[in-house]
Amino acid sequence: MSRVRHTNTLVIADRSFLFWPQIETVDISLVDDIPRVLDVLQTIRSNFKIGNAFMADEFHVVNSPKVCREFEQALQGIALAFEPHMVFKKRVPLAIGLIRTGDTVQHANMILESA
């Protein structure tokens, strides 16, 4: 977090997200759903000014409307863009770091761009 500057990106990932050896990864997954992506997002929002967020289109396909609303509410006030998962994954190697959670929500991964 201390290295994230203007327009740098940070990935918050679910438990099944691919390993990226070229990205510094902090793995805080303890057990299923502890912590969740939204727990990490909520915690870092007070110290990290987020300008944009990116998620995979597939998130809407595999999750219930309730889960989708939860994520959109957690990202309220942040420009949120959905894109195909393959496009999303191309952004990952450009990130400053990746935080892996224990989240079991499919495609819960997000890339946060600092403002």
Number of domains in the chain: 1
Write the CA distances from 109 to 81, 105, integer angstroms: 13, 9
The 10s digit of each residue's pLDDT in 51-69 is: 999 999 999 999 999 999 9
On whether residue 4 sits in a domain, the answer given is no
| CATH number, position 36 | 3.40.1650.10
Q: Which domain holds residue 109?
A: 9-114
Q: pTM for this one? A: 0.93
On whether residue 2 sits in a domain, the answer given is no
DSSP 8-state symbol, 44:
H
On whether residue 3 sits in a domain, the answer given is no
On whether residue 24 sits in a domain, the answer given is yes
Continuous H helices in 1-115: 37-44, 58-62, 65-74, 85-91
On whether residue 47 sits in a domain, the answer given is yes
The 10s digit of each residue's pLDDT in 28-37 is: 999 999 999 9
